[in-house]
Amino acid sequence: MERSIEYLQLLAKNFPSIAAASTEIINLEAILNLPKGTEHFVTDIHGEYDAFDYVLRSASGVIKQKIDAVFGNELPESGKRELCALIGYPEAKLHALKTRGENTDEWYKVVLMRLISVLTRVASRYTRSKVRKALPKDYAYIIEELMHETRGEFVSKQNYVRAIVDTIVLTGRADHFITAISDVTRDLVIDQLHIIGDIYDRGPGAHRIMDMLCRYRDFDIQWGNHDIVWMGAAAGSPACVANVLRNALKYADMSTLEDGYGINLLPLATFAMQTYADDPCTFFQPVKSDDTPADVPQLRLLSQMHKAIAIIQFKLEAAVIARHPEFGMEDRNLLHKIDFQRGCIGPYQLRDTHFPTVDPRDPYRLTPGEQNVIDRLVHSFTSSTSLARHMECLFTHGSLYLVYNNNLLYHGSVPLNEDGTLAEMEIQGVRYKGRELFDTIDKYVRTAYYGTEDDELKQYGRDLIWYLWCGPVSPPFDKDRMATFERYFIADKSTHVENKGCYYRLKNRRDICEMILREFGIEDLEHAHIINGHIPVKASQCESPIKADGRLLVIDGGFSKVYHQETGIAGYTLIYNSHGMRLVRHRPFESVSDSIGHGMDVISDTQVVEETTDHILVRDTDKGKRLMTRVEDLKELLTAYRTGLLR
- Percent of the chain surpassing pLDDT 70: 95
Name, in order, each residue with C-beta under 8 angstroms of 161's C-beta and a sequence gap of 6 or more: 145, 146, 149, 150, 152
| 306: pLDDT strictly greater than 60 | yes
Our CA angle for 96, 99, 103, nearest 5°, is 80
Using CB atoms within 10 A of its CB, is residue 442 exposed (0-12), middle (13-18) or buried (19+)?
Answer: middle
CB atoms within 10 A of CB 395: 18
Domain ranges of the chain: 2-34+621-643, 61-188, 226-386+423-489
Weakest-pLDDT range from 125-139, 505-519, 547-561: 547-561
- Percent of the chain surpassing pLDDT 90: 77
Cα distances from 371 to residues 243, 375, 427, 584, 598, in angstroms, run: 15, 6, 29, 48, 53
CB atoms within 10 A of CB 353: 14
Q: Which of 181, 146, 143 is nearest to 162 (CA)?
A: 146
Q: How confident is the model at residue 295 (pLDDT cuts 50, 70, 90)?
A: confident
| 14: pLDDT strictly greater than 70 | yes
Cα 569 from Cα 201, distance rounded (Å): 19
Q: Which of 343, 296, 279 is nearest to 491 (CA)?
A: 343
**Across 549-589, where does the E strand assignment appear?**
552-554, 572-577, 580-586
pLDDT of residue 498: 95
pLDDT of residue 206: 96
pLDDT of residue 593: 77
pLDDT of residue 568: 61
* DSSP secondary structure code for residue 591 in this structure: -
| 4: pLDDT strictly greater than 70 | yes
Q: In what order do the strands lie in the sheet with 338-339?
A: 338-339, 344-345, 348-349
* Mean of all residue pLDDT scores within the chain: 92
Helix (H) or strand (E) holding 425: strand 425-427
What are residue 362's DSSP bridge partners? 359
pLDDT digits (tens, 9 = 90+) for 427-466: 999 999 999 999 999 999 999 999 998 888 999 999 999 9
| 590: pLDDT strictly greater than 80 | no
Cα 267 from Cα 377, distance rounded (Å): 8
CB 145 within 8 Å of CB 131:
no
User: Given phi > 0 = left and psi -120 to 50 = alpha, else beta, which region is 532?
Assistant: beta
Cα 500 from Cα 483, distance rounded (Å): 12
CB 220 within 8 Å of CB 533:
no
| 50: pLDDT strictly greater than 80 | yes
Q: How confident is the model at residue 290 (pLDDT cuts 50, 70, 90)?
A: low
CB 29 within 8 Å of CB 48:
no
Cα 106 from Cα 37, distance rounded (Å): 35
CB 71 within 8 Å of CB 100:
no
Q: How confident is the model at residue 608 (pLDDT cuts 50, 70, 90)?
A: confident
Weakest-pLDDT range from 169-183, 500-514, 585-599: 585-599
CB 124 within 8 Å of CB 174:
no
The mean pLDDT of 589-614, rounded to a whole number, is 74
Q: How confident is the model at residue 560 (pLDDT cuts 50, 70, 90)?
A: confident
- Residue-by-residue DSSP string for 246-264: HHHHHTT-HIIIIIIH---
| 167: pLDDT strictly greater than 90 | yes
Weakest-pLDDT range from 126-130, 179-183, 207-211, 233-237: 126-130
| 96: pLDDT strictly greater than 90 | no
Name, in order, each residue with C-beta under 8 angstroms of 117's C-beta and a sequence gap of 6 or more: 70, 71, 150
pLDDT of residue 22: 97
pLDDT of residue 176: 94
Weakest-pLDDT range from 81-85, 263-267, 333-337, 567-571: 567-571
Q: Which of 11, 59, 4 is nearest to 37 (CA)?
A: 59
Cα 544 from Cα 472, distance rounded (Å): 26
Q: How confident is the model at residue 153 (pLDDT cuts 50, 70, 90)?
A: low
pLDDT of residue 384: 98
| 522: pLDDT strictly greater than 70 | yes
Q: How confident is the model at residue 156 (pLDDT cuts 50, 70, 90)?
A: low
CB 71 within 8 Å of CB 80:
yes
pLDDT of residue 104: 84
CB atoms within 10 A of CB 518: 14
- Greater pLDDT, 155 or 459: 459
Q: Which of 114, 113, 120 is nearest to 135 (CA)?
A: 120
Q: In what order do the strands lie in the sheet with 552-554?
A: 401-404, 407-411, 529-533, 552-554, 546-547
pLDDT of residue 294: 64
Cα 32 from Cα 186, distance rounded (Å): 23
Cα 411 from Cα 554, distance rounded (Å): 10
- Residue-by-residue DSSP string for 228-243: HHHHHHHTT-HHHHHH
The mean pLDDT of 499-503, rounded to a whole number, is 96
pLDDT of residue 602: 56
| 599: pLDDT strictly greater than 80 | no
Cα 197 from Cα 74, distance rounded (Å): 41
Q: How confident is the model at residue 604 (pLDDT cuts 50, 70, 90)?
A: low
Query: Structure pTM?
Result: 0.93
Q: Which of 179, 261, 226 is nearest to 48 (CA)?
A: 226
Q: Which of 234, 235, 186 is nearest to 212 (CA)?
A: 186
Our CA angle for 243, 244, 248, nearest 5°, is 115
CB 67 within 8 Å of CB 77:
no
Cα 531 from Cα 103, distance rounded (Å): 44
pLDDT of residue 201: 93
pLDDT of residue 569: 63
Cα 253 from Cα 393, distance rounded (Å): 22
| 517: pLDDT strictly greater than 90 | yes
Cα distances from 182 to residues 84, 171, 176, in angstroms, run: 10, 19, 10
Q: How far is C-alpha 156 from the geometric centre of its chain's CA atoms?
A: 49
Cα 112 from Cα 126, distance rounded (Å): 21
